[in-house]
Amino acid sequence: MKRLAFLLFAAMQCARAQDAGESEHVAPDPPQSRVHAMPYHEMADMMGMDDRRNFGKFMLDRFEWQEASGDGRLEWDATAWYGGDYDKLWFESEGERGNGTTQDSRTELAWDRILSPWWNLRLGARHDGGIGPSRDWAAFGVAGLTPGFFDVEARVYLGENARTALRLSAHRDYLLSQRLVLQPEAELSAYGKDDPERLIGTGLSDVKVGLRLRYEIRRELAPYLGVRWVGHFGDSADYRKAAGDVAHEWLWLAGIRAWY
C-alpha cells in the first residue's frame, strides 16, 4: 500500500516536473544484483577500507650520551607498540650503560587499552636488569595527555616478596619554531621495600628532571642537546654514597630521537 502510494506520488511528481521542464531527477532503477552478506573482515577486504587495521610504531625517544664530571654513560629509552585504536601491545625499554656494562635497565611489556579520550590503561609485566639481582614485577598503569599538553604516566608495580614500586613521569613539548622543540621532563620513583643489592631504599628513591632542545630535521629524526639533574634520596642516597657514587648530580647530554 505504502509502495503504491509512493509510485502514484512519483508519477505525479514526474508529470509535474515535465510541466515545469525543470527537475531532471529520475529515481534510479532497482539494482539487478546485490552484494552477498558478509562478515566485517571480508567486507573490509573487498572495500579496501578497514578502520580496524593495526599499526605499529617504534620510538627511540632518548638515545643519549650523558656526561658528569668526566664520567660518561649511555642512556636509552625506547617504546614500541602494535595494535588498533582500542588495544595495543606495548613495549618499553629503558636503561643505562657505563664502564662497559649495563648499569641499570627496565623492560616492560603491557596490554594498552583505550580508557577515555585522553587516557589509556597499561597492564603488564616489568623486568629490571643491570647491576645487582634482577627483579620482576606486575605493572598497573595509566598514561594520558592532560590539559596543558602534558604527557603523563603513572604506574604501580607489585613484585616478589611483597615488593612494591611507584613510577611517575611527565613531559611536554614547547615549540620554539616549527622544528625546534624544547622538552622539559620529570620522573619520580618510589619503592615500598628496601632492596640494598640494587641500591634502592624504601620511600622516594630518585627524581630526574631534564630539559632537552631538539631540532627536527624531519619529524622522525631529531638530534638534541640537554641537561638533567638526577637526585637520590633517603636510603637510596646512602646506599649510593656507600658504593662510592654521588647522591645527586647534574648531567650534560647529547642524543638523538628517532621514530618509525
Rank residues 138 and 175 by Cβ distance to another protein and give the closer one.
175
* DSSP characters over 199-228: TB-SEEEEEEEEEEEEE-SBTTEEEEEEEE
CB of 86 to another protein, least distance (A): 8
Residue count at the site for another protein (CB under 8 A)? 56
Q: What grid cell was written down for 180?
A: 625546534
Q: Which amino acid is at 208?
A: K
Asked whether position 254 contacts another protein by CB under 8 A, the answer is no
> Which one, of 199, 252, 208, 253, lies nearest residue 230 by Cα?
208
CB of 108 to another protein, least distance (A): 20
One character per residue 90-119, x = contact with another protein (rule: CB under 8 A): ------------------------xxxxx-
CB of 179 to another protein, least distance (A): 8
24: left (phi over 0), alpha (psi -120 to 50) or beta: alpha
Contact 111, 105 (CB under 8 A): no
Asked whether position 152 contacts another protein by CB under 8 A, the answer is no
CB of 120 to another protein, least distance (A): 9
Near another protein by CB under 8 A: residue from 18, 57, 111, 248? 57
Asked whether position 87 contacts another protein by CB under 8 A, the answer is no
Strand partners, 143: 120, 153
| Distance of alpha carbon 43 from alpha carbon 69, whole angstroms | 62
Distance of CA 220 to the CA centre of its chain: 15
Asked whether position 19 contacts another protein by CB under 8 A, the answer is no
Asked whether position 174 contacts another protein by CB under 8 A, the answer is yes
| Distance of alpha carbon 205 from alpha carbon 237, whole angstroms | 7
Asked whether position 145 contacts another protein by CB under 8 A, the answer is yes
Chain residues binding another protein by CB under 8 A are 2-3, 5-6, 9-10, 13, 16-17, 20, 22-35, 38, 40, 43-44, 46-52, 55, 57, 85-86, 114-118, 145, 147-149, 174-178, 182, 219, 259
